[in-house]
Structure 1
Amino acid sequence: MSYRVLSLKYRPQSFNDLAGQEHVTKTLINAFKKDRVSQAYILTGPRGVGKTTTARVIAKALNCSKTKEGSPCNACQVCKEIIDGRNLDVLEIDGASNRGIEEMRNLREQIKYAPMNAPYKIFIIDEVHMLTNQAFNALLRTLEEPPEHGKFILATTDIHKVPSTIISRCQRFDFNRINETVISNQLSKIIDLEKIKIDNESLMAISTKADGSMRDALSILDQAIAFSGESITYDEVATIIGIIPLDIFFDYSNALSAKDYPKMFQTLSKIRSSSFQLDDLIDGLNLHFRNYILALTPDGETLMNLNESHKKEYVDTISSWDLNDILQIINQFNKLHHTIKNSHQPLIAFEILSLKLMEMDKSVIISDLLAENSSNSNSANDKQFTAEQKNFVQNDTKELDKRVKPKADNSSKETSIKIDDISHEKNAEPQPKVKNIGLDKIKDKWQDFIKVVNSERPSLG
């Protein structure tokens, strides 16, 4: 018998076998138990999460005569024919290659005829968003008034391209990206059945690389088995899928935090001499700094998909990082993603950004800065107020002396005293207190401040 890839060999054949889509499977199982089956379903979600597989399970459940708890038996003649893809009453249509109005007209003609050896004639249209507008209009008429024996199951990765008139006539199920832990557990079951040895770190690396797609994870595992044989190590998995070693990321971030230019240049040289894809490098750095954010939170290291030694390394080096700095760095890397698409030398753009990040100052929390300035202003006001009190006491003493002592004929002295008193009163005028300005007030007045700077000093604006 010829070899079958893992994604086909271990394809789910019942609702309970579908991993990571419990909200879909529970609804469908209950619908079949209570005989509340819709005339049409539309399944949407990213690639490799089980849309087409679910469509086939629905087709089996509709036509199976021995359903068990809402799921097909997979033992009757109809179920076996659908599994092998040779049942004449279940037709799979590729929307990308059968997207015209003529194909939809043929479909309308076929659905008129009763099924041959099953209760329903079922049409599974994959990538339905690829149909033309004319084809959608032809399909719409059939969805509005389908025959009792006709059922439609539509699948798409881009629901926004499907007309709302089509969606409104279907029961919609949104498939989610599958959690990395769920993928890892599923791979572990398959590994046991295949009698292959692999460590948990390798499984998590494959699950992370799959990016929520079970089919991609099984394809990578298939490749790893072909490369390594019956025993798979993490280094072999890293070589196959191009995982960038964490040492590169730690060297980069340590040089960045310490502003160690020689070490940064050595790291950039190592990156340039390696065959890393720049997109993978940036994604890896984003994930690396995300792990730093997790390390900043209580018990955040438990959320890292890493072994204990790597978790400890994040916790040990987090003291040199601030959350605002990390967020700013991640933001710059996300901007670089868009920049390198139009760059003839993307690696140089990455190196330039790295040097700019080296020059980046540490983040300052504005509220703390305002509080510090406010406390300084208040202390200055207190000193000024104390001086004013002294002047006030001196002036009162002079006034009292003038009242007790007999008046002298020296008018010039009186004039000088009055002038001195007036000057003291002017000096004793209290200065306006500096208010404690909050961050919201600064945001509200920031545009006015920019306008003033532009008018007074255009070079700074």
Structure 2
Amino acid sequence: MYLIFYLCEVILDQSNEDINGGEVFSPTVEDNNQDTFLGSEKSPKKNPENLSPNGLKAKGGQYKVLARKYRPQKFEDLLGQETMVQILRNAFSSGRIAHAFMLTGVRGVGKTTTARLLARSLNYKSSEVDEPTIDFSESGDHCQEIMESRHIDVMEMDAASRTGIADIREILDSINYSTSSARYKIYIIDEVHMLSKSAFNGLLKTLEEPPEHVKFIFATTEVHKVPLTILSRCQRFDLRQLNEELMLKLLSKVTEDEGAKINEGSLKLIGRAAEGSARDGLSLLDQAITLSTGNEDFDVSSVRDMLGLSDHARIIDLYNFISTGEIDKALWEIKDQIELGAEPSVIILSLGEIIHEMTRLKVTNDDNDNLFLGPENMARIKELKEKTDVKRLTRLWQMILKADQEVKSSFKPSSALEMVAIRMAYISNLPTPDEIIKSLDDDEISEKKNLDAKTSQKSIEEEKDIRDDKIMSKINSDPRVKKIMEHFPETEVKSFNNMEDSKSESNETE
């Protein structure tokens, strides 16, 4: 029996050894790629063999993607988060450190990285400093393990996969134990909005009054789903998206460090496609660097093709067919694009972008070219905007918003897209609701004026008849008139005007 156990032990030990060098694999090997970000000092470890971008690989033949390679290692590396960094610096210097932090923001702005930097700051200890600080003069005793997410006192939990109260109970059961080596026991819960209601309720009491050696750091992309009772117990930081200037700075620096040759126009295009996400921008830059390797013709159009933005010319054709009422050509264009692999939802999205850009140019007269569309397409859009007005463009935009939902929920998206194009083509030439209302108002005003004119004329005639009757009644009762009538029996006076005529005839006779 003992012999069997001994043999099993030997086999297990041998399975952990590397067959090449006899070294034992460790999941916590030091990451040589995360020694710098955008600092002025260049680390000799970044590209020790001075390899070209296509030859730069980590040990073991595994390439480290740019989003991981250039992960910020200190607070100064966090682009666009100056307000948060200043608040934290003041809080750490004055000792006003909260016991729970809530980090919110869209994808790729640095929530998880900031959480690890916070954990590193709280547990920072070096030969010169032994207190919480956000200014890292050198790598501390716990820094490397924390940034690699392998420190025993800094626990990260993904709430997207561990959502129940049982997972929270594990945390609650462990917080009463003291730390192993660090100053604080820190719990980082990513995507915290995914926790169940019971899990949130289980956190409330501990989150309000945690032990002195415990800190909580939450990260979420949908902060509106987090209960207010949780938010009120945390110090909240909203991480901002990178603007075009900061994104260009990041991409330019990484491109230079990687030794790649990508022009500024291409980097701006990549930055706009990233939509403020540093991780998305670096991932797209990774693709662009790979595409540019050995490609002498690499330029902005190449990046536009890589991003799938090369069909805007045909989208403009589709808009033109719809606006001119050429339904058969519009349907043919839709069918041809779908056969080439375009998704109906993407066609609707691109059509909306064209309408938005046209409306923006219409109201601002901005001559700056849209890098997504390219100079040729921008010239066509500027020409088309002169043939329409803002009211019609606004109505088409409202139809696009509704059509997007119809196409996504339809049993056959291509048919839904065709019906949308037909509806837009018929409605594009119809008057707007404002024009219809104004036309009805004008007709009503004109009719009222005619009616008033007829009524006024009738009233004048009636008043004149009444006046004549009164005058004739008075005249007929006058004896002198009777005497005159005896001399002219053939004359009949019916009105005052008739009497005047009779008087004129009498004067002529005399």
Corresponding residue number in structure 2 for 1:332? 399
Equivalent residue runs for 1:287-298 within 5 Å: 287-298=353-364
Match of 2:253 among 175, 183, 189: 189
Question: 304-313 vs 257-266, which deviates more?
Answer: 304-313
1:278-333 Cα distance to aligned partner (Å, 9 max, x none): 22221111111000110111234449455555444322221222222222222222
Structure whose residues are more often helix by fraction? 1
Task: Name the SS of the counterpart of 1:197 in structure 2.
Answer: coil
Corresponding residue number in structure 1 for 2:365? 299
2:109 aligned with 1:45, yes or no? no
Corresponding residue number in structure 1 for 2:344? 278
Provide the C-alpha distance between the structure 2 equivalents of 1:75 and 1:116, rounded to a whole number of angstroms: 20
Corresponding residue number in structure 2 for 1:426? none
Corresponding residue number in structure 2 for 1:13? 73
Task: Name the SS of the counterpart of 1:226 in structure 2.
Answer: helix
Distance change >3 Å, CA 201–CA 397, structure 1 → 2: farther
Provide the C-alpha distance between the structure 1 equivalents of 2:88 and 2:400, rounded to a whole number of angstroms: 42
Equivalent residue runs for 1:47-86 within 5 Å: 47-65=107-125, 66=129, 70-73=134-137, 75-86=139-150
Provide the C-alpha distance between the structure 2 equivalents of 1:252 and 1:220, rounded to a whole number of angstroms: 29
Judge conservation of contact 2:109–2:277 (CA < 8 Å) in 1.
yes
Judge conservation of contact 1:122–1:153 (CA < 8 Å) in 2.
yes
Corresponding residue number in structure 2 for 1:4? 64
Judge conservation of contact 2:124–2:133 (CA < 8 Å) in 1.
no
Counterpart residue type for residue 424 of structure 2: L
Root-mean-square deviation (CA, aligned residues, Å) is 3.6
Provide the C-alpha distance between the structure 2 equivalents of 1:74 and 1:268, rounded to a whole number of angstroms: 60
2:420 aligned with 1:349, yes or no? no
What's the % identity of the aligned pairs?
33
| Rg comparison, structure with higher value | 2
Unmatched 5+ residue regions in structure 2?
A: 1-57, 497-510
Provide the C-alpha distance between the structure 2 equivalents of 1:379 and 1:197, rounded to a whole number of angstroms: 75
Distance change >3 Å, CA 240–CA 68, structure 1 → 2: farther
How far off its partner does 1:58 sit?
A: 1.3
Corresponding residue number in structure 2 for 1:423? none
Counterpart residue type for residue 345 of structure 2: D
Counterpart residue type for residue 296 of structure 1: K
Task: Name the SS of the counterpart of 2:76 in structure 1.
Answer: helix
Judge conservation of contact 1:244–1:276 (CA < 8 Å) in 2.
no
Distance change >3 Å, CA 323–CA 202, structure 1 → 2: same
What TM-score does the superposition give when structure 1 sets the normalisation length? 0.77
2:229 aligned with 1:169, yes or no? no
Question: 196-205 vs 376-385, which deviates more?
Answer: 376-385
Question: 52-61 vs 253-262, which deviates more?
Answer: 253-262
Distance change >3 Å, CA 268–CA 280, structure 1 → 2: closer
Task: Name the SS of the counterpart of 2:421 in structure 1.
Answer: helix
2:239 aligned with 1:156, yes or no? no
1:118-159 Cα distance to aligned partner (Å, 9 max, x none): 322211111223333443333333212212121110112233
1:159-210 Cα distance to aligned partner (Å, 9 max, x none): 3443332222111223344445543443233223223233444334433443
Corresponding residue number in structure 2 for 1:95? 159
Provide the C-alpha distance between the structure 2 equivalents of 1:96 and 1:369, rounded to a whole number of angstroms: 57
Question: 70-79 vs 317-326, which deviates more?
Answer: 70-79
What TM-score does the superposition give when structure 2 sets the normalisation length? 0.71
Question: 192-201 vs 245-254, which deviates more?
Answer: 192-201
2:286 aligned with 1:222, yes or no? yes
2:303 aligned with 1:237, yes or no? yes
Provide the C-alpha distance between the structure 1 equivalents of 2:338 and 2:76, rounded to a whole number of angstroms: 48
Task: Name the SS of the counterpart of 1:153 in structure 2.
Answer: strand
**How many pairs does the alignment contain?**
417
Provide the C-alpha distance between the structure 1 equivalents of 2:345 and 2:272, rounded to a whole number of angstroms: 15
Match of 1:257 among 323, 329, 336: 323
How far off its partner does 1:100 sit?
A: 3.6
Unmatched 5+ residue regions in structure 1?
A: 419-461
Distance change >3 Å, CA 135–CA 417, structure 1 → 2: same
Judge conservation of contact 1:48–1:215 (CA < 8 Å) in 2.
yes
